[in-house]
Copies of this chain bind each other. A is one copy, B any other.
Amino acid sequence: MRGIFYGVGVGPGDPEYMTLKAVRVLGLCPVLAVPRTGGKHSEALEIASKAADLSGKEILFLDFLMTRDEKSAARRHRELAGSVAEKLDAGKNVAMLNLGDPSLYASFGYLREILKERGYETETVAGVTSFCACAAKLGVSLTEARLPLRIVPGDYPELDRELASPGTKVVMKSGREIARVRRAVERSRLPAAAVENCGMPGERVCACLKDVGGAYFTTVLVGEAPERKKKPGSETEENR
C-alpha cells in the first residue's frame, strides 16, 4: 500500500505552538520531507525536533530553487515530487514540514498538486500562523468587528493601495523589503508594530518600525486594531 503525503504546519517558532495533531502525524511518518533553499539549516526541523521525538526518522531534504523563472521552478517541483513519490511507493508515509500553516505562502501546495494528480493521497495538517503568534506576542487584536484583515506579502507591489483600504493589515516576511514597507507605512500615517523572528532565536518585539533590523521573518501589523489595544510591557513573558 502506498504511503500518504502529509503537509504538517509546525507553527511560527515556539515548539509549544505545535498542535497535538502535528505531533501525532509526525509520529506516523517514518520520512520527514524538509524544504530548504540553500544551506543545511531548517528552522522547521529545529522546531519539530523540540516538540516531537524524531529519532530514527529518515530526513529527505527538498532543495527548492530561489528563482522567479516559472519553468525551472516547475521542473524542480516535479523532481522533488518524484523523490517524495519514491518513498510513498515504498509504502512509507511522508510528512513535509512547514513553518506556520501549510496553506499560507508555503511550498507544500506545489508538491501536493503534482502528487494528487498522480493519484497519491494527501492530507494537510493546519498550523498556527506567524501573524496570530505576533498579535499574541504584542498583546493586540488583529481585527475590529465588521472590518477585514489583509494579509500582504512583503514584496507585494501595490502596498500603498492595500494600506489605504479599511481594516488591519499584516505585512508578512517583510524583512528584505523593510525600507520600502517602512516608507509605505509612513505615507499611510497609520500606527504600526512588528515582531522579528517571532518565537525563534533572535526574536525582537518592535513597538515602532524604526527599531526593525531586517530579519527575513519580520511580521508588521498596521492599522487601528493594533494601536487601540497596544500597551507594551503589560503582557507577561512566562514562556520565554
Q: Tell me whether B231 and A116 are in contact (CB under 8 A).
A: yes
- Tell me which residues from 97 to 114 in chain A have a Cβ below 8 Å from any Cβ of chain B: 101-106, 109, 112-113
Q: For residue A119, which residues in chain B have a CB less than 8 angstroms away from its CB?
A: 234
Q: For residue A137, which residues in chain B have a CB less than 8 angstroms away from its CB?
A: 124
Q: Flag the segment in A16-24, A84-92, A186-194, A208-216 that touches B.
A: A16-24
Q: For residue A155, which residues in chain B have a CB less than 8 angstroms away from its CB?
A: 146
- Residue from B24, B102, B150 in contact with A150 in the complex, judged by beta carbons closer than 8 Å: B150
Q: Tell me whether A139 and B124 are in contact (CB under 8 A).
A: yes
Q: Flag the segment in A37-45, A53-61, A127-135 that touches B.
A: A127-135
Q: Given the interface contacts A103-B142, A123-B238, A146-B153, does A23 sit within 8 Å of B20 by beta carbon?
A: yes
- In the complex, how many angstroms separate the beta carbon of A218 from the nearest chain B beta carbon? 17
Q: How far is the CA of A220 from the CA of B162 in the complex (A)?
A: 22
A151 in contact (CB, < 8 A): yes
A-B contact pairs, 14 of them (CB 8 A): A4-B236, A17-B20, A103-B135, A104-B132, A113-B228, A113-B231, A119-B234, A124-B135, A125-B136, A147-B153, A147-B156, A149-B150, A151-B151, A158-B166
**Top-5 shortest CB links A-B:** A124-B136, A103-B135, A16-B21, A109-B141, A149-B151
